Amino acid sequence: MSAATTTASGASTPSSRFVSELPTNPVARFLHDTWAVAWRELRLTLRDPFSQVFALGQPIVFLVLFAPLLSGLVGGAMAGPGAEAAGSSTIQWFLPGLLVMIALFGTGMTGSNLLFEMQMGSYERILASPLSRASIIVGRALKEFVPLVLQALILTIAAVPFGFTIHPLGVLLGLVMLGIFGIGLGSLSYALGLASKNREWLFWTVQQSVTFPLLLLAGMMLPLESGPEWMRVASRFNPITYLVNGERALFSGQMTADVVWGFVAALGTLAVGLWVGVSAIRRATR
């Protein structure tokens, strides 16, 4: 019997009912498929919440043991957005950079999940579904928003006993900026996973080679003001620098031009990431 949509008695099969329920409008279909992919990926995360908790171990170590080492830099080399509002509180300057670091490492590694799925064959089953190719990447990228924002929120609350002052509106906008950036970076990571395919070493080589220079040249952990001139010049060409400066301004309650440039960097990463990711999956499935 062929893959007919009705049985001999004329009753519809489950597959035919599923197809008939799909939106016919292209935009509605894309949104439907994107939500289906995002919810599938998010459920896998919710089934293993302890992995998200353990992922906070290293950031908490930085918060407790590394941030106090910077206390002598407050008011000196530690300049720039957020430094004045932070006063004598190093944590006010340090926490936003730490949150960006979480986003950079966390969402930047999500392509490794795709590599695992390709090795196990589950990715091919997804491609065999009626889902649009673009929604597969966009849905996976949207999934990164929730765990990233939740981890950032937990760390923000955990920083209060160490002297961090919460500015509710600034924190809210900062988390939105961080989430937008995470979606874009996650898309780039998935594109890298598709390009690496059976060469897992290539994914990790490129990921590590790009991540650490971006981290150091953005002044996430240490102030660039105390570094050589060439590093300060190079940081101006690093989009992560503007994201970090925007986060520091927001988490210090400042609505300055750094916030605008931070959102420009986040939205730019989102646009480039989705374009590269969607293009990569379309090329891979031709």
Three-state secondary structure readout of the chain: CCCCCECCCCCECHHHHHHHHCCCCHHHHHHHHHHHHHHHHHHHHHCCHHHHHHCCHHHHHHHHHHHHHHHHHECCCECCCCHHHHCCCHHHHHHHHHHHHHHHHHHHHCHHHHHHHHHHCHHHHHHCCCCCHHHHHHHHHHHCHHHHHHHHHHHHHHCHHHCCCCCHHHHHHHHHHHHHHHHHHHHHHHHHHHHHCCCHHHHHHHHHHHHHHHHHHCCCCCCHHHCCHHHHHHHCCCHHHHHHHHHHHHHCCCCCHHHHHHHHHHHHHHHHHHHHHHHHHHHHCC
Percent of the chain with pLDDT over 70: 81
Say whether pLDDT at 72 is over 70: no
Q: Is residue 255 included in any domain, yes or no?
A: yes
pLDDT tens digit sequence for 104-114:
888 877 777 77
pLDDT tens digit sequence for 83-105:
544 444 788 889 999 999 988 88
Q: What is the pLDDT of residue 83?
A: 52
Q: Is residue 194 included in any domain, yes or no?
A: yes
Domain that holds residue 42: 23-284
Mean of per-residue pLDDT scores for the chain: 79
Domain count, the chain: 1
Between 80 and 227, the more confident residue is 227
Q: Is residue 1 included in any domain, yes or no?
A: no
Q: Is residue 6 included in any domain, yes or no?
A: no
Q: Give the Å distances, CA to CA, from 165 to 161, 229, 253.
A: 9, 32, 9
Q: Is residue 14 included in any domain, yes or no?
A: no
Q: Is residue 15 included in any domain, yes or no?
A: no
Assign 21 a pLDDT band (cuts: 50, 70, 90).
low
pTM over 0.85: no
Burial class of 36 by CB neighbour count within 10 A (0 to 12, 13 to 18, 19+): middle
Q: Is residue 142 included in any domain, yes or no?
A: yes
Percent of the chain with pLDDT over 90: 17
Nearest-10 crossing angle of helices 239-251, 168-196: 150
Residue 25 tokens, joined: 């409008």
The Cα–Cα gap between 75 and 87 comes to 7
Q: What is the pLDDT of residue 22?
A: 62
Identify the CA nearest to 36 among candidates 181, 136, 125.
136
Q: Is residue 118 included in any domain, yes or no?
A: yes
Cβ distance 153 to 147 under 8 Å? no
